[in-house]
């Protein structure tokens, strides 16, 4: 972490390294190795994510909002980077040669409430709600009062009617823009805030610069993460138990390859 001199915190000088597809591949492999080293930790944090997804789906069904299940499920991976903070801490400790213990990892996760990472949580949730409300807006624009009362009927409408197909097309484009923006702002920012005492605005700018300076590598990594997360949700979110942990660890390793502190 940062050195403290005369009661002040030294601000790290951040340098963005060039990245290639080889770095993405190596980070994914390192993420898998970390998961294999600490599987119980990974399953614990993956389980929190999976159970959270199930809770949202059940809640929507109870309140008779089945048409929101698919949009929320698709947008749910947007909050993945914040949930993965515990996984970043595990990889950080292992890389620094520190003992990985439940007490140490959970204490560091809870400590983030007092640091800049709490502001990043607000940013992530704010963008997630933007996604949810823009879906509702698109539904009103394209389907009006024809929104079905059941999930099966909703799927039929959006895949077999002209209005539904147009809704899917526009929603996919808008969703891709929102997801890319949030990914660019958080993929480096969240592990950086865990690793160093800097403000969240600087962290987001650094993250955005990392993506814009290494678009092929970073967007390829983002595509892998998004595709794996969405596919893992198909069996009732249960795949997230096993998919989120290696992806979370991989994000940490990609961050370490991307950012040099001077």
Say what the pTM is: 0.83
The pLDDT, as a whole number, for residue 63 is 65
Distances (CA, A) of 56 to 53, 62, 81, 223, 225: 5, 10, 18, 24, 21
Contact 66, 149 (CB under 8 A): yes
Per-residue tens of pLDDT for the chain, all 262 residues:
444 434 444 567 889 999 999 999 999 999 999 999 999 999 998 888 778 777 777 776 676 666 666 666 666 556 666 678 899 999 999 999 999 999 999 888 888 877 888 888 788 878 877 877 887 788 888 877 666 666 677 778 778 888 888 888 888 888 888 888 889 999 999 999 999 888 999 999 999 999 999 999 999 999 998 888 778 777 666 777 888 899 999 999 999 999 998 7
Q: Domain ranges for the chain, please list them.
A: 15-261
DSSP 134: H
Instruction: Read off the tokens for 177.
Output: 């823009």
């Amino acid at each position: 972490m940062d050195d403290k001199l005369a009661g002040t915190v030294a601000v790290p000088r951040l340098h963005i390294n060039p990245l290639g597809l080889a770095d993405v591949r190596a980070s994914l492999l390192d993420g898998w190795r970390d998961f294999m080293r600490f599987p119980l930790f990974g399953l614990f944090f993956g389980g929190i994510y999976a159970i959270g997804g199930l809770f949202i789906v059940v809640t929507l069904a109870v309140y008779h909002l089945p048409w929101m299940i698919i949009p929320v499920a698709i947008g749910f991976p947007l909050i993945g980077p914040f949930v993965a903070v515990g996984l970043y801490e595990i990889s950080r400790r292992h890389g620094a040669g520190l003992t990985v213990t439940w007490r140490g990892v959970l204490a560091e996760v809870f400590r983030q409430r007092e640091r800049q990472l709490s502001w990043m949580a607000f940013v992530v949730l704010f963008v997630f709600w933007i996604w949810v409300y823009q879906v509702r807006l698109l539904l009103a624009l394209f389907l009006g009062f024809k929104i079905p009362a059941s999930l099966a009927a909703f799927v039929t409408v959006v895949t077999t009617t002209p209005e539904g197909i147009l809704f899917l097309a526009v929603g996919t484009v808008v969703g891709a823009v929102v997801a890319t923006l949030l990914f660019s702002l958080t993929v480096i920012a969240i592990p950086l805030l865990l690793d160093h005492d800097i403000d969240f605005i600087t962290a987001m700018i650094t993250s955005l610069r990392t993506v814009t300076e290494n678009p092929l590598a970073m967007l390829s990594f983002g595509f892998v993460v998004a595709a794996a997360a969405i596919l893992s949700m198909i069996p009732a979110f249960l795949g997230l138990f096993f998919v989120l942990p290696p992806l979370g660890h991989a994000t940490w390793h990609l961050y370490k390859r991307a950012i040099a502190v001077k």
